[in-house]
Structures are given as C-alpha cells and as structure tokens.
Structure 1
Amino acid sequence: MADKWANFLNPDVVRTRFIRTGLFLVAHEMLLSAIKDRIHDFYSNSWTAVGGWKASPDYREKVLSLDPKGKNDPLRASIVWLLRIQAINKDDENTIREMTEERNRLAHELRNVLGGTLDHDFESLFPKLAALIAKIDRWWVVNVEMATDPEFVGTELNQDEVTPGSLMLLKVLNKVALGKDEEAWGIYHEFTSTRDDTNP
C-alpha cells in the first residue's frame, strides 16, 4: 500500500500514466474516425456550412443498411463495409472490439488507472491500435486517393511502404510525449533549427 501511495504522489509516475491514457484515448478517436468518417465522406455529395459533408442516399443504402442489428448504426455498419471490401479482416474486427473495450474501461475507471490499482497495458495495446488505424488509412490512400490521381495511374507500389499521415502523427505524439528527454526534444530542436535556417 505504501508503494502505491508513493507512486500516486510521484509526479513522474502520475504524469506518465496521464500521458499514456490520453494518447490511447486520442488514438481510439482516430480509429473511430478512420472507420466511420472516411466512408461517410466518400458517400457524400454536398456540403453545408453547419453540418459539413452531407451523405447521399447511397450512404444509407450501401453502408448504414449493413448494420447487423438493423439500427443503421454508423460504426457497426462501417465495420461490415470495410470487411466486405477487404480493407480489414476478422482479426482486425476483433482488435476493434478489444480496443473499444479498453477505451471504455479507461474512461470509466480512470481514477483507478491513475492510482495504479488498475493496469493499462499501453506497451502492447497502443502499437496494435496505431497499426490498425494505419491499415485502414493506408487502404484509402492506395485504393482511392492514389488510384484516382493521374500522377500514380499505372504505378506499381508496395502498399506496406505507404505511410499514412495518421501513423506519422501517432509516432510523433508518442515520441514527444513519452520519449526520454533528449529523444523527446529531438523533433522540436530539428524543426526549430530548420525553420531558423530558412528564416535568417
């Protein structure tokens, strides 16, 4: 018990727990966006200043109707859509479920996670979450964005070599937030030195 109180009062321990939890929650929101928003936008045909992209009737017919529970839930329906086009597989679907369960657990048990009475396996879960986001985003980059860009038509590429912006962002956030002092400041110093060189 004394050790737990010591960790709870240790700024480095608590700060790290906060950062890890926050990074996981941010990444989970990015996963939800990768699953739902890209499909919604793909099936959108008009823009409104208030609501943004407005989905076409095809979205309801070809996506929302796929909800296994018949309730037009965008998340469940989008997962089925991604499975059908083979952007994800059954293992990925299980990972989505695992990550969502962990997200809900963190949100509801945050005090216990920060207090150290409830473990959060950030080291194994965060890479799985980041890899899944990258896989979905990579499918869109290769099969939609690059496939419709005249510059890349007819070009053969290794899909695994495509690095989506979402993966780069998560890597940078992880390094800046959780890297050792020199490593964490490395990106900042590199950026500011480059900016200084271009703006004498």
Structure 2
Amino acid sequence: MANEDELNKWLKFLDPENLKGNLVFSSLFIASFEAFKDHTIETVKFFFNTGFINGEYTFSDTYEKDVKSKDKSVLKATLLWLKDMGAITTEDIAKVDELRQYRNKLSHELMALLFEGLPQEFPEKLADLILLRVKIEKWWTLNIEIPTNPDFDSEEEISEKDILTPSQIFHQLVFDMLSGDEKTAHYYQEEFKKRFKK
C-alpha cells in the first residue's frame, strides 16, 4: 500500500492545473535557454558576416580565429569573446554553465518533476536566465548597434536604462499571459483581434 508521501505526489500529479503549470514552466525554461544559446551565438557570428553568396551567408576568417577557437563549445567560445569585449564577466559564464545543467535536469527528469513539483529555486533560475540575456542585449545595443548606426549620431547620450530589449518585451508578454488574472492573460489576444481581425 502506498505511503502518504506517494499518495500526495499522485494527488499533485492528478491535479490538472498543477500538471499544466509544471509542464508550462518547465517548457518555458527549456525553450528560453535554447533561445538564449541560439541568439547569443548567432548575434556574435553575424557581427563577422561579410556578405551573402550563392544563397549562403559568408563570414570573416576572424570569426574562426577570434571566437570559435576559444573553446570546443560554440556557446562557451562566444561567451568568452563577449567577456573579452567587456559585455559579461567570468561569473556570468559560470552562471550560464549552471543554467545549462539546470536545463538538462528539467529535460531529463521531467516525469519526476511532474510528480514532485518544480524545484523551489526554479523562479530564481528563470530570472537569472532572463537577466543574463537582457544584459547581453543591452550591452550589444549600446556598444555595437548604436555606435555603428548613423541614425543615432544626433541623439543625446543613451544609457542602459533607456533601452527596452526584445526579450524583456517577450517575457513580460508571456508572464502576463500566464498570470491568474483573466483580463491580463487575454489582454494581448483581445487587442490583436481589435487591430488586425476583420
């Protein structure tokens, strides 16, 4: 006969709202980490883009020499390049590795987590992941995009607090949609319908 702990785990698992919540947030973290990885790698790679020939992008040899040669992992190599540029710190790189391991834990132990619930540290880990991406995006905007865009030549000095990044907007939208408040959760869908649906 099952003990009380096992019964409680089954009760949690069989609660539809609890199950949906655990699935949604586990998936959100996994997807967010993959998006962080892809975005970081591609943003830096395209900094070295030299053109588009025969249906393919071409890249400077400098990308191989200055970025990819830093580590066998393309993500780690990219992060090391960003550190050398002053965008992130050694501690940030260690945090990414920690978050990568956490992503693997969520992925590989998903069935167990659906029974036991998300770990207590989950909100902190998700916040760390979002903040790291925002940090890189803001640095990139301030140090790469603005200085190389003549449209900003006549602008007053822009600071980090003046920049709202795409990932900040996206994650705010997602969290609003997942909120328990029905009006907030459906706000964007209703506005979209008003503006675009005939």
TM-score bracket relative to the smaller structure = 0.7 to 0.9
SS at match of 1:148: coil
Contact 1:34 1:136 in 2 (8 A): no
Q: Does 1:157 pair with 2:162?
A: no
Counterpart for residue 191 of structure 1: 192
Q: Where does the alignment leave 5 or more consecutive residues of structure 2 unmatched? A: 1-5
Q: Does 1:142 pair with 2:147?
A: no
- The runs of 4+ residues in structure 1 deviating greater than 4 Å are none
Deviation at 1:189, TM superposition (A): 1.9
Q: CA deviation digits over 1:21-68, x for unaligned, max 9?
A: 111011101210232111111112233676x5333211111111222x
Deviation at 1:121, TM superposition (A): 3.1
Q: Structure 1 residues 118, 124: CA separation in 2 closer, same or farther (over 3 Å shift)?
A: closer
Contact 1:24 1:103 in 2 (8 A): yes
Counterpart for residue 181 of structure 1: 182
SS at match of 1:151: helix
Contact 2:88 2:136 in 1 (8 A): yes
**Equivalence map 1:12-161=2 (5 Å):** 12-47=17-52, 52-67=56-71, 71=72, 73-116=73-116, 119=119, 121-153=121-153, 155=155, 156-161=157-162
SS at match of 2:140: helix
Q: Structure 1 residues 84, 58: CA separation in 2 closer, same or farther (over 3 Å shift)?
A: same
Question: Aligned residues, how many?
Answer: 192
Deviation at 1:144, TM superposition (A): 1.7
Contact 1:27 1:170 in 2 (8 A): no
TM-score (norm 1): 0.86
Q: Which amino acid aligns with 1:60?
A: E
SS at match of 2:147: coil
RMSD value, Cα: 2.1
TM-score (norm 2): 0.87
SS at match of 1:79: helix
Counterpart for residue 172 of structure 1: 173
SS at match of 2:33: helix
| Larger RCO, structures 1/2 (Cα 8 Å, 6+ apart) | 1
Q: Which amino acid aligns with 2:124?
A: S
Deviation at 1:122, TM superposition (A): 2.8
Contact 1:176 1:183 in 2 (8 A): yes
Deviation at 1:191, TM superposition (A): 2.9
Q: Which amino acid aligns with 1:101?
A: Q
**The one of 3, 13, 19 aligned to 2:8:** 3
Contact 2:82 2:88 in 1 (8 A): yes
SS at match of 1:26: helix
* Structure 1 Cα separation of the partners of residues 172 and 63 of structure 2: 33
Contact 2:22 2:118 in 1 (8 A): no
Q: Which amino acid aligns with 1:20?
A: F
Q: CA deviation digits over 1:101-151, x for unaligned, max 9?
A: 110111111111112266263321112111111111112222222221112
* Structure 2 Cα separation of the partners of residues 77 and 98 of structure 1: 16
